[in-house]
Protein backbone atom coordinates (compact mmCIF):
# COMPACT_ATOMS: atom_id res chain seq x y z
CA UNK A 1 0.00 0.00 0.00
CA UNK A 2 1.10 3.56 -0.61
CA UNK A 3 -0.33 7.04 -0.29
CA UNK A 4 -1.30 8.48 -3.65
CA UNK A 5 -2.25 12.06 -4.35
CA UNK A 6 -4.44 12.57 -7.42
CA UNK A 7 -5.67 15.83 -8.88
CA UNK A 8 -8.78 16.22 -10.98
CA UNK A 9 -9.54 19.77 -12.02
CA UNK A 10 -9.09 21.83 -8.86
CA UNK A 11 -9.69 18.88 -6.53
CA UNK A 12 -7.01 16.86 -4.80
CA UNK A 13 -7.67 13.41 -3.39
CA UNK A 14 -5.47 11.48 -0.98
CA UNK A 15 -6.04 7.77 -1.31
CA UNK A 16 -4.41 4.43 -0.76
CA UNK A 17 -3.23 2.44 -3.75
CA UNK A 18 -1.82 -1.08 -3.91
CA UNK A 19 1.81 -1.67 -4.77
CA UNK A 20 3.55 -5.02 -5.33
CA UNK A 21 4.58 -6.77 -2.15
CA UNK A 22 8.27 -6.71 -1.30
CA UNK A 23 10.05 -8.26 1.62
CA UNK A 24 11.16 -4.86 2.85
CA UNK A 25 7.90 -3.06 2.07
CA UNK A 26 7.41 -0.22 -0.38
CA UNK A 27 10.42 1.10 -2.21
CA UNK A 28 11.30 4.74 -2.64
CA UNK A 29 9.46 4.79 -5.95
CA UNK A 30 6.24 3.89 -4.12
CA UNK A 31 6.07 7.53 -3.03
CA UNK A 32 6.24 8.82 -6.63
CA UNK A 33 2.53 9.84 -6.70
CA UNK A 34 3.54 12.73 -4.41
CA UNK A 35 6.00 14.08 -6.97
CA UNK A 36 5.18 17.68 -7.80
CA UNK A 37 2.43 18.00 -5.18
CA UNK A 38 2.42 21.55 -3.76
CA UNK A 39 2.00 21.40 0.04
CA UNK A 40 1.95 24.49 2.28
CA UNK A 41 2.55 24.12 6.06
CA UNK A 42 1.26 26.74 8.50
CA UNK A 43 3.68 26.62 11.44
CA UNK A 44 6.22 24.57 9.50
CA UNK A 45 8.91 24.80 12.19
CA UNK A 46 6.73 23.19 14.85
CA UNK A 47 7.33 19.87 16.52
CA UNK A 48 6.34 17.11 14.10
CA UNK A 49 5.34 19.55 11.34
CA UNK A 50 8.92 20.08 10.19
CA UNK A 51 9.50 16.33 10.18
CA UNK A 52 6.50 15.63 7.99
CA UNK A 53 7.55 18.47 5.66
CA UNK A 54 10.97 16.86 5.40
CA UNK A 55 9.41 13.52 4.49
CA UNK A 56 7.37 15.14 1.72
CA UNK A 57 10.46 16.82 0.30
CA UNK A 58 12.16 13.43 0.25
CA UNK A 59 9.11 12.18 -1.68
CA UNK A 60 9.64 14.91 -4.31
CA UNK A 61 6.72 17.09 -3.20
CA UNK A 62 7.07 20.88 -3.44
CA UNK A 63 6.95 22.30 0.08
CA UNK A 64 6.41 25.81 1.39
CA UNK A 65 5.47 27.11 4.81
CA UNK A 66 5.35 29.89 7.34
CA UNK A 67 6.55 30.29 10.90
CA UNK A 68 6.98 33.12 13.37
CA UNK A 69 10.74 32.81 13.77
CA UNK A 70 13.74 31.18 12.17
CA UNK A 71 15.01 28.02 13.82
CA UNK A 72 17.34 25.12 13.16
CA UNK A 73 14.34 23.21 11.81
CA UNK A 74 13.28 25.91 9.34
CA UNK A 75 16.87 26.51 8.21
CA UNK A 76 17.27 22.81 7.48
CA UNK A 77 14.03 22.72 5.49
CA UNK A 78 15.16 25.77 3.51
CA UNK A 79 18.43 24.01 2.71
CA UNK A 80 16.40 21.04 1.44
CA UNK A 81 14.46 23.30 -0.92
CA UNK A 82 11.40 24.45 1.04
CA UNK A 83 10.29 28.08 0.61
CA UNK A 84 9.61 29.54 4.06
CA UNK A 85 8.17 32.94 4.98
CA UNK A 86 8.36 34.43 8.45
CA UNK A 87 5.36 36.70 8.06
CA UNK A 88 1.94 35.06 8.29
CA UNK A 89 -0.64 36.27 5.81
CA UNK A 90 -2.81 35.36 2.85
CA UNK A 91 0.01 36.23 0.44
CA UNK A 92 2.19 33.48 1.98
CA UNK A 93 -0.02 30.75 0.46
CA UNK A 94 1.62 30.07 -2.93
CA UNK A 95 -0.41 30.69 -6.11
CA UNK A 96 0.21 27.06 -7.08
CA UNK A 97 -0.93 25.08 -4.03
CA UNK A 98 -2.70 21.73 -3.74
CA UNK A 99 -2.80 21.09 -0.01
CA UNK A 100 -2.56 23.20 3.15
CA UNK A 101 -1.43 21.50 6.37
CA UNK A 102 -1.74 23.08 9.82
CA UNK A 103 -1.07 22.14 13.42
CA UNK A 104 -3.74 21.85 16.10
CA UNK A 105 -2.68 25.27 17.42
CA UNK A 106 -3.71 27.05 14.20
CA UNK A 107 -7.29 28.32 14.32
CA UNK A 108 -9.80 28.66 11.48
CA UNK A 109 -9.51 32.46 11.49
CA UNK A 110 -5.77 32.40 10.74
CA UNK A 111 -5.20 34.50 7.58
CA UNK A 112 -3.62 31.61 5.67
CA UNK A 113 -6.48 29.31 6.66
CA UNK A 114 -8.99 31.90 5.47
CA UNK A 115 -7.13 32.26 2.17
CA UNK A 116 -7.00 28.49 1.66
CA UNK A 117 -10.74 28.24 2.35
CA UNK A 118 -11.47 31.15 -0.02
CA UNK A 119 -9.58 29.39 -2.81
CA UNK A 120 -11.18 26.04 -2.07
CA UNK A 121 -7.86 24.34 -1.30
CA UNK A 122 -7.68 20.98 0.45
CA UNK A 123 -6.95 21.59 4.16
CA UNK A 124 -5.68 18.93 6.58
CA UNK A 125 -4.45 18.93 10.14
CA UNK A 126 -0.90 17.70 10.62
CA UNK A 127 -2.23 14.59 12.36
CA UNK A 128 -4.57 13.78 9.45
CA UNK A 129 -1.74 13.84 6.93
CA UNK A 130 0.43 11.81 9.30
CA UNK A 131 -2.33 9.21 9.45
CA UNK A 132 -2.47 9.07 5.65
CA UNK A 133 1.30 8.58 5.49
CA UNK A 134 1.21 5.81 8.09
CA UNK A 135 -1.54 3.97 6.18
CA UNK A 136 0.95 3.04 3.48
CA UNK A 137 3.33 1.35 5.93
CA UNK A 138 3.38 -0.86 9.00
CA UNK A 139 2.80 1.71 11.70
CA UNK A 140 4.42 1.85 15.14
CA UNK A 141 2.79 4.48 17.38
CA UNK A 142 4.46 5.46 20.66
CA UNK A 143 2.17 7.38 23.01
CA UNK A 144 2.02 8.50 26.62
CA UNK A 145 2.10 11.58 28.78
CA UNK A 146 5.90 11.38 29.14
CA UNK A 147 8.82 9.86 27.27
CA UNK A 148 7.32 9.78 23.77
CA UNK A 149 10.07 11.66 21.97
CA UNK A 150 12.95 9.76 23.57
CA UNK A 151 11.37 6.35 23.03
CA UNK A 152 10.31 7.12 19.44
CA UNK A 153 13.79 8.35 18.53
CA UNK A 154 15.44 5.41 20.33
CA UNK A 155 13.21 2.96 18.48
CA UNK A 156 13.84 4.62 15.11
CA UNK A 157 17.59 4.62 15.77
CA UNK A 158 17.68 0.97 16.88
CA UNK A 159 15.66 -0.16 13.85
CA UNK A 160 17.91 1.92 11.60
CA UNK A 161 20.98 0.26 13.13
CA UNK A 162 19.27 -3.08 12.48
CA UNK A 163 19.29 -2.20 8.75
CA UNK A 164 15.47 -1.97 8.53
CA UNK A 165 15.51 1.63 7.18
CA UNK A 166 12.28 2.74 8.86
CA UNK A 167 10.39 5.94 8.16
CA UNK A 168 9.89 8.00 11.30
CA UNK A 169 8.54 11.27 12.65
CA UNK A 170 9.75 12.37 16.08
CA UNK A 171 8.55 15.45 17.96
CA UNK A 172 12.12 16.55 18.70
CA UNK A 173 15.43 16.82 16.90
CA UNK A 174 17.79 13.86 17.18
CA UNK A 175 21.29 14.43 15.87
CA UNK A 176 22.00 10.73 15.48
CA UNK A 177 18.96 10.52 13.19
CA UNK A 178 20.07 13.71 11.39
CA UNK A 179 16.82 15.44 12.24
CA UNK A 180 13.33 14.57 13.34
CA UNK A 181 12.03 12.63 10.32
CA UNK A 182 13.03 10.35 7.50
CA UNK A 183 11.26 8.66 4.62
CA UNK A 184 12.81 5.20 4.67
CA UNK A 185 12.67 2.41 2.13
CA UNK A 186 11.55 -0.22 4.65
CA UNK A 187 8.02 -1.21 5.60
CA UNK A 188 8.10 0.32 9.10
CA UNK A 189 6.89 3.79 10.09
CA UNK A 190 7.68 4.89 13.67
CA UNK A 191 5.60 7.82 14.91
CA UNK A 192 5.41 9.86 18.10
CA UNK A 193 1.66 9.82 18.81
CA UNK A 194 0.37 12.94 20.59
CA UNK A 195 -2.83 12.90 22.62
CA UNK A 196 -3.50 16.67 22.45
CA UNK A 197 -6.58 17.43 20.31
CA UNK A 198 -6.93 13.62 20.06
CA UNK A 199 -4.41 13.86 17.23
CA UNK A 200 -3.32 10.25 17.62
CA UNK A 201 -6.80 9.02 16.66
CA UNK A 202 -5.82 9.63 13.04
CA UNK A 203 -3.43 6.67 13.37
CA UNK A 204 -4.17 2.98 12.83
CA UNK A 205 -0.87 1.35 13.84
CA UNK A 206 0.25 -2.27 13.81
CA UNK A 207 2.12 -1.81 17.09
CA UNK A 208 1.17 0.70 19.79
CA UNK A 209 3.23 1.40 22.90
CA UNK A 210 1.59 3.30 25.77
CA UNK A 211 4.25 4.47 28.22
CA UNK A 212 2.05 6.15 30.85
CA UNK A 213 -1.18 8.10 31.20
CA UNK A 214 -1.55 11.08 33.53
CA UNK A 215 -3.51 14.30 33.78
CA UNK A 216 -2.29 16.77 31.19
CA UNK A 217 -3.71 19.07 28.50
CA UNK A 218 -6.58 19.90 30.82
CA UNK A 219 -7.33 22.91 28.66
CA UNK A 220 -8.59 20.32 26.17
CA UNK A 221 -9.63 17.27 28.23
CA UNK A 222 -12.19 17.51 31.01
CA UNK A 223 -10.51 15.00 33.36
CA UNK A 224 -8.35 11.89 33.59
CA UNK A 225 -11.25 9.64 32.62
CA UNK A 226 -11.64 11.46 29.33
CA UNK A 227 -7.89 11.14 28.72
CA UNK A 228 -8.00 7.37 29.39
CA UNK A 229 -10.95 7.06 27.02
CA UNK A 230 -8.95 8.75 24.24
CA UNK A 231 -6.04 6.35 24.72
CA UNK A 232 -8.49 3.44 24.76
CA UNK A 233 -9.86 4.57 21.40
CA UNK A 234 -6.34 4.63 19.95
CA UNK A 235 -5.77 1.08 21.15
CA UNK A 236 -9.04 -0.06 19.56
CA UNK A 237 -7.62 1.19 16.26
CA UNK A 238 -4.56 -1.08 16.42
CA UNK A 239 -4.38 -3.74 13.70
CA UNK A 240 -6.13 -6.89 15.05
CA UNK A 241 -3.03 -8.84 14.05
CA UNK A 242 -0.80 -6.36 15.87
CA UNK A 243 0.45 -5.83 19.42
CA UNK A 244 -0.05 -3.38 22.28
CA UNK A 245 2.86 -2.82 24.68
CA UNK A 246 2.05 -0.99 27.90
CA UNK A 247 3.34 -0.42 31.41
CA UNK A 248 2.48 -3.15 33.90
CA UNK A 249 2.16 -0.86 36.92
CA UNK A 250 0.21 2.02 35.38
CA UNK A 251 -3.47 1.43 36.16
CA UNK A 252 -4.55 4.08 33.67
CA UNK A 253 -2.65 2.29 30.89
CA UNK A 254 -4.14 -1.05 31.84
CA UNK A 255 -7.64 0.45 31.93
CA UNK A 256 -7.17 1.85 28.43
CA UNK A 257 -5.88 -1.47 27.11
CA UNK A 258 -8.70 -3.64 28.46
CA UNK A 259 -11.13 -2.64 25.74
CA UNK A 260 -8.74 -3.40 22.88
CA UNK A 261 -9.23 -6.65 21.01
CA UNK A 262 -5.51 -6.99 20.38
CA UNK A 263 -2.66 -8.93 21.97
CA UNK A 264 -1.47 -6.98 25.02
CA UNK A 265 2.04 -7.27 26.42
CA UNK A 266 3.11 -5.49 29.59
CA UNK A 267 6.55 -4.26 30.57
CA UNK A 268 8.05 -3.46 33.94
CA UNK A 269 11.22 -2.92 35.93
CA UNK A 270 11.80 -5.56 38.61
CA UNK A 271 8.09 -6.38 38.53
CA UNK A 272 6.03 -9.20 36.99
CA UNK A 273 5.37 -8.46 33.31
CA UNK A 274 5.65 -9.96 29.83
CA UNK A 275 8.81 -7.90 29.35
CA UNK A 276 10.96 -7.47 32.46
CA UNK A 277 14.11 -5.52 33.22
CA UNK A 278 15.99 -7.24 36.05
CA UNK A 279 19.43 -7.16 37.66
CA UNK A 280 19.93 -3.41 37.17
CA UNK A 281 23.43 -1.98 37.57
CA UNK A 282 24.93 1.47 36.97
CA UNK A 283 28.54 2.06 35.97
CA UNK A 284 29.93 5.51 35.03
CA UNK A 285 26.50 6.78 34.05
CA UNK A 286 25.51 3.73 32.02
CA UNK A 287 22.56 1.63 33.16
CA UNK A 288 22.57 -2.09 32.34
CA UNK A 289 19.93 -4.75 32.89
CA UNK A 290 18.86 -8.22 31.81
CA UNK A 291 15.70 -8.61 29.72
CA UNK A 292 13.22 -11.42 30.23
CA UNK A 293 10.39 -12.10 27.78
CA UNK A 294 7.78 -14.23 29.56
CA UNK A 295 10.59 -15.28 31.95
CA UNK A 296 12.82 -16.31 29.02
CA UNK A 297 16.25 -14.60 29.01
CA UNK A 298 16.71 -12.41 25.92
CA UNK A 299 20.03 -10.72 26.71
CA UNK A 300 21.49 -7.75 28.51
CA UNK A 301 20.86 -4.13 27.50
CA UNK A 302 22.81 -0.98 28.31
CA UNK A 303 21.69 2.63 27.95
CA UNK A 304 23.68 5.86 28.23
CA UNK A 305 20.55 7.75 29.32
CA UNK A 306 20.17 8.57 33.01
CA UNK A 307 17.10 7.77 35.07
CA UNK A 308 15.01 4.71 35.83
CA UNK A 309 12.38 5.90 33.35
CA UNK A 310 14.90 5.44 30.53
CA UNK A 311 15.33 1.80 31.50
CA UNK A 312 11.63 1.44 30.74
CA UNK A 313 12.01 3.33 27.47
CA UNK A 314 14.85 1.02 26.42
CA UNK A 315 12.78 -2.03 27.34
CA UNK A 316 9.92 -0.82 25.11
CA UNK A 317 12.35 -0.25 22.25
CA UNK A 318 13.72 -3.78 22.61
CA UNK A 319 10.21 -5.28 22.65
CA UNK A 320 9.25 -3.36 19.50
CA UNK A 321 12.46 -4.48 17.79
CA UNK A 322 11.68 -8.13 18.51
CA UNK A 323 8.14 -7.77 17.14
CA UNK A 324 9.53 -6.15 13.99
CA UNK A 325 11.86 -9.08 13.37
CA UNK A 326 15.08 -7.18 14.05
CA UNK A 327 18.12 -9.06 15.26
CA UNK A 328 18.49 -8.77 19.02
CA UNK A 329 22.16 -7.78 19.00
CA UNK A 330 21.56 -5.05 16.42
CA UNK A 331 18.77 -3.58 18.57
CA UNK A 332 20.90 -3.89 21.72
CA UNK A 333 23.78 -2.09 20.01
CA UNK A 334 21.43 0.65 18.85
CA UNK A 335 20.08 1.18 22.37
CA UNK A 336 23.61 1.19 23.83
CA UNK A 337 24.81 3.84 21.38
CA UNK A 338 21.72 6.05 21.47
CA UNK A 339 22.56 9.43 22.96
CA UNK A 340 19.10 10.95 23.30
CA UNK A 341 17.29 13.83 21.65
CA UNK A 342 17.65 17.57 21.95
CA UNK A 343 16.24 19.14 25.11
CA UNK A 344 15.91 15.84 26.98
CA UNK A 345 18.52 16.11 29.75
CA UNK A 346 20.81 17.52 27.06
CA UNK A 347 24.29 18.29 28.37
CA UNK A 348 25.30 21.73 27.08
CA UNK A 349 28.79 21.85 28.52
CA UNK A 350 30.87 22.71 31.56
CA UNK A 351 32.25 26.18 32.28
CA UNK A 352 34.42 26.92 35.31
CA UNK A 353 33.43 23.67 36.98
CA UNK A 354 29.70 24.39 36.47
CA UNK A 355 27.60 21.93 34.44
CA UNK A 356 24.74 23.10 32.23
CA UNK A 357 21.82 20.92 31.11
CA UNK A 358 18.63 21.68 29.20
CA UNK A 359 15.40 19.69 29.40
CA UNK A 360 11.91 19.88 27.87
CA UNK A 361 10.13 18.65 31.01
CA UNK A 362 6.96 20.65 31.70
CA UNK A 363 4.77 18.21 33.65
CA UNK A 364 5.23 17.50 37.40
CA UNK A 365 6.09 13.83 36.90
CA UNK A 366 8.68 14.64 34.24
CA UNK A 367 10.25 17.32 36.42
CA UNK A 368 10.49 15.05 39.46
CA UNK A 369 12.01 12.13 37.53
CA UNK A 370 14.46 14.30 35.59
CA UNK A 371 15.76 16.17 38.63
CA UNK A 372 16.31 12.92 40.51
CA UNK A 373 18.14 11.42 37.51
CA UNK A 374 20.33 14.53 37.17
CA UNK A 375 21.21 14.52 40.87
CA UNK A 376 22.11 10.82 40.74
CA UNK A 377 24.13 11.24 37.55
CA UNK A 378 26.07 14.46 38.27
CA UNK A 379 26.12 14.48 42.11
CA UNK A 380 26.30 18.30 42.10
CA UNK A 381 27.17 20.56 45.02
CA UNK A 382 23.96 22.44 44.23
CA UNK A 383 21.28 21.63 41.69
CA UNK A 384 19.68 24.84 40.41
CA UNK A 385 16.57 24.46 38.28
CA UNK A 386 15.25 27.29 36.11
CA UNK A 387 11.69 26.22 35.38
CA UNK A 388 9.43 28.11 33.00
CA UNK A 389 5.81 26.98 33.45
CA UNK A 390 4.14 26.18 30.12
CA UNK A 391 0.57 27.48 29.90
CA UNK A 392 -1.40 29.19 32.63
CA UNK A 393 -4.10 26.52 32.40
CA UNK A 394 -1.67 23.63 33.03
CA UNK A 395 -0.08 25.56 35.90
CA UNK A 396 -3.47 26.29 37.45
CA UNK A 397 -4.80 22.74 37.20
CA UNK A 398 -1.58 21.11 38.46
CA UNK A 399 -0.31 23.84 40.80
CA UNK A 400 0.06 21.66 43.91
CA UNK A 401 1.68 18.85 41.91
CA UNK A 402 4.18 21.31 40.44
CA UNK A 403 4.96 22.67 43.90
CA UNK A 404 5.97 19.18 45.08
CA UNK A 405 8.07 18.40 42.00
CA UNK A 406 11.22 20.27 42.97
CA UNK A 407 12.31 18.22 45.99
CA UNK A 408 15.60 17.31 44.28
CA UNK A 409 16.48 20.95 43.45
CA UNK A 410 18.41 23.10 45.93
CA UNK A 411 17.05 26.25 44.28
CA UNK A 412 14.23 26.71 41.77
CA UNK A 413 14.03 29.94 39.77
CA UNK A 414 10.74 30.66 38.02
CA UNK A 415 10.21 33.29 35.29
CA UNK A 416 6.81 34.39 34.03
CA UNK A 417 4.56 31.65 32.63
CA UNK A 418 4.90 30.91 28.91
CA UNK A 419 1.62 32.09 27.41
CA UNK A 420 0.19 29.76 24.76
CA UNK A 421 -3.35 28.54 24.02
CA UNK A 422 -4.55 30.18 27.25
CA UNK A 423 -7.69 32.19 27.86
CA UNK A 424 -7.63 35.52 29.64
CA UNK A 425 -9.43 33.82 32.53
CA UNK A 426 -6.57 31.31 32.84
CA UNK A 427 -4.07 34.15 32.70
CA UNK A 428 -5.73 35.99 35.56
CA UNK A 429 -6.17 32.88 37.71
CA UNK A 430 -2.49 31.98 38.24
CA UNK A 431 0.99 33.46 37.95
CA UNK A 432 4.60 32.41 38.47
CA UNK A 433 4.87 34.10 41.89
CA UNK A 434 2.05 31.87 43.16
CA UNK A 435 4.01 28.78 42.12
CA UNK A 436 7.13 30.08 43.91
CA UNK A 437 5.10 30.57 47.09
CA UNK A 438 3.80 26.99 46.88
CA UNK A 439 7.32 25.59 46.34
CA UNK A 440 8.53 27.47 49.42
CA UNK A 441 5.55 26.16 51.40
CA UNK A 442 6.86 22.66 50.59
CA UNK A 443 10.17 23.50 52.26
CA UNK A 444 12.27 24.20 49.16
CA UNK A 445 14.13 27.36 48.14
CA UNK A 446 12.56 29.21 45.23
CA UNK A 447 12.84 32.64 43.65
CA UNK A 448 10.63 34.51 41.17
CA UNK A 449 12.59 36.49 38.55
CA UNK A 450 10.18 37.52 35.78
CA UNK A 451 12.47 37.90 32.76
CA UNK A 452 15.29 35.89 31.20
CA UNK A 453 17.98 38.64 31.31
CA UNK A 454 17.35 39.06 35.03
CA UNK A 455 17.82 35.32 35.61
CA UNK A 456 21.02 35.21 33.57
CA UNK A 457 22.50 38.17 35.48
CA UNK A 458 21.50 36.69 38.84
CA UNK A 459 23.02 33.27 38.09
CA UNK A 460 26.18 34.72 36.63
CA UNK A 461 26.83 36.34 40.01
CA UNK A 462 25.76 33.37 42.16
CA UNK A 463 27.14 30.27 40.42
CA UNK A 464 30.11 28.42 41.89
CA UNK A 465 32.19 25.39 40.84
CA UNK A 466 30.33 22.14 41.48
CA UNK A 467 26.92 23.61 40.64
CA UNK A 468 24.57 22.09 38.07
CA UNK A 469 22.12 24.38 36.28
CA UNK A 470 19.20 22.87 34.37
CA UNK A 471 16.69 24.84 32.33
CA UNK A 472 13.30 23.12 32.11
CA UNK A 473 10.12 23.79 30.18
CA UNK A 474 8.49 23.53 26.77
CA UNK A 475 8.98 27.23 26.03
CA UNK A 476 12.19 29.11 25.14
CA UNK A 477 13.72 28.73 28.63
CA UNK A 478 16.70 27.01 26.95
CA UNK A 479 17.89 30.50 26.00
CA UNK A 480 18.99 31.03 29.61
CA UNK A 481 21.41 28.11 29.86
CA UNK A 482 22.70 28.68 26.32
CA UNK A 483 23.42 32.32 27.18
CA UNK A 484 25.17 31.34 30.43
CA UNK A 485 27.38 28.87 28.58
CA UNK A 486 28.20 31.58 26.04
CA UNK A 487 29.03 34.18 28.70
CA UNK A 488 31.06 31.92 30.97
User: pLDDT tens digit string along 169-179?
Assistant: 998 888 899 88
Q: What pLDDT shows up at residue 12?
A: 52
SS3 call for 102:
strand
Q: What pLDDT shows up at residue 206?
A: 97
Higher pLDDT among residues 18 and 484, named by residue: 484
The answer to whether 360 and 447 have CB atoms below 8 angstroms apart is no
Q: What pLDDT shows up at residue 338?
A: 95
CATH 3.40.1280.10 fits 137-337, yes or no: no
End-to-end CA, the chain = 54
Model confidence pLDDT, tens digit, residues 27-56: 444 444 678 899 999 999 887 898 889 889
Give the sheet arrangement for strand 263-269, strand by strand.
179-182, 167-174, 188-192, 138-143, 207-210, 243-247, 263-269, 275-283, 286-293, 296-303
Model confidence pLDDT, tens digit, residues 373-428: 899 889 999 999 999 998 888 898 889 999 999 999 999 999 999 887 777 887 88
Model confidence pLDDT, tens digit, residues 334-386: 999 999 888 888 999 999 999 999 998 888 988 998 999 899 889 999 999 99
Q: What pLDDT shows up at residue 217?
A: 82
Model confidence pLDDT, tens digit, residues 73-106: 899 899 999 999 999 999 999 999 999 999 888 8
Model confidence pLDDT, tens digit, residues 330-347: 999 999 999 988 888 899
The whole-number average pLDDT for the span 245-256 is 95
Q: What pLDDT shows up at residue 41?
A: 97
Least confident of 207-211, 257-261, 272-276: 257-261
Share of the chain above pLDDT 90, in %: 68
Beta strands in 166-232 (DSSP E): 167-174, 179-182, 188-192, 207-210
Please, which pLDDT band fits residue 5 given cuts at 50, 70 and 90?
Answer: low
pLDDT value at 25 more than 60: no
CA proximity to 243, closest of 152, 138, 340, 167:
138
Cβ neighbours of residue 335 closer than 8 Å, sequence gap 6 or more: 154, 158, 301, 302, 303, 314, 317, 318
Q: What pLDDT shows up at residue 344?
A: 83
Distance CA 169, CA 473 (A): 22
Q: What pLDDT shows up at residue 29?
A: 40
Distance CA 223, CA 103 (A): 23
Looking at domain 2-124, what is its CATH homologous superfamily? NAD(P)-binding Rossmann-like Domain (3.40.50.720)
Model confidence pLDDT, tens digit, residues 272-312: 999 999 999 988 778 999 999 999 999 999 999 988 999 99
pLDDT value at 185 more than 70: yes
Neighbouring C-beta atoms of residue 228, cutoff 10 Å: 18
CA proximity to 348, closest of 214, 176, 231, 482:
482
Domain residue ranges of the chain, discontinuous segments joined by +: 2-124, 137-337, 346-487
Q: What pLDDT shows up at residue 196?
A: 86
Q: What pLDDT shows up at residue 456?
A: 97
pLDDT value at 23 more than 60: no
Distance CA 226, CA 224 (A): 5
Please, which pLDDT band fits residue 17 given cuts at 50, 70 and 90?
Answer: very low
Model confidence pLDDT, tens digit, residues 99-147: 999 988 888 999 999 999 999 999 999 999 999 889 889 999 999 998 9
Q: What pLDDT shows up at residue 197?
A: 83
Q: What pLDDT shows up at residue 398?
A: 87
Distance CA 297, CA 40 (A): 49
CA distances from 35 to 55, 57, 434 (A): 12, 9, 53
pLDDT value at 444 more than 90: yes
Looking at domain 346-487, what is its CATH homologous superfamily? Mur ligase, C-terminal domain (3.90.190.20)
Amino acid sequence: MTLAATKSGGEITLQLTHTPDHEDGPSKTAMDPLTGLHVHFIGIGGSGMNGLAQMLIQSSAIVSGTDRTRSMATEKLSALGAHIDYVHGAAAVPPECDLVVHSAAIKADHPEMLEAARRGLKILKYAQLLGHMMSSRQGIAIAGTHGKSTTTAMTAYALTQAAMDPSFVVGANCRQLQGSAHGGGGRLFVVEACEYDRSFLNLHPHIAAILNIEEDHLDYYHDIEEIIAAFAQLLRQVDPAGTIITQAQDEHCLAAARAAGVQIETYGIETPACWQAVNLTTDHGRQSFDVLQNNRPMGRLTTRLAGRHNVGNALVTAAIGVHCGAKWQAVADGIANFGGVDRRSEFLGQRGGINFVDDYGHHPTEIRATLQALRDHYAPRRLICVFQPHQHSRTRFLLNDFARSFAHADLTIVPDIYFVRDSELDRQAVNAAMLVDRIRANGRQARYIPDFPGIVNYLQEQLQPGDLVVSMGAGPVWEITHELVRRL
